[in-house]
Amino acid sequence: LDEWAYVAKNPGGKYKKYGRWFEAVETGKDLKGTAKAYTDHAVKKETLASQITTEFKPQYVELMKSGKKTEAANLKARLLTAYEALGYDRSKKSKDIDKWID
């Protein structure tokens, strides 16, 4: 149903299963509500956390490598807020993100 609703609103658009989650992570809007919508439909919080890594790690690494540290710091802050909405410890996840560069 989510896919049908998306395609109806975005003719020719490509539906992503975690698109709503990625949008919430990017905007910071309704993270807990969005996470709950997924977990209420049998998606584990670990899966949502994994999707953050899959979707945003390449972007973060590229920002760091290209010297765009302000943009990288802003992205990291959004990611940490998303992880926190899933119940993860912010400082632990910060260390995990730092390891992406190694």
Secondary structure (DSSP) of 34-54:
HHHHHHTTT--HHHHHHHHHH
**Residue whose C-alpha is closest to residue 49's, from 38, 62, 33, 64:** 38
**pTM of model > 0.85:** no
Cα separation, 70 vs 76, in Å, equals 10
**Residue whose C-alpha is closest to residue 81's, from 70, 65, 97:** 97
Cα separation, 29 vs 97, in Å, equals 21
Provide, rounded to the nearest whole percent, the portion of the chain with pLDDT above 90: 74
> Are 92 and 39 contacting, i.e. CB atoms less than 8 angstroms apart?
no
List, for residues 10-36, the tens digit of each pLDDT value: 566 565 778 889 999 999 999 999 999
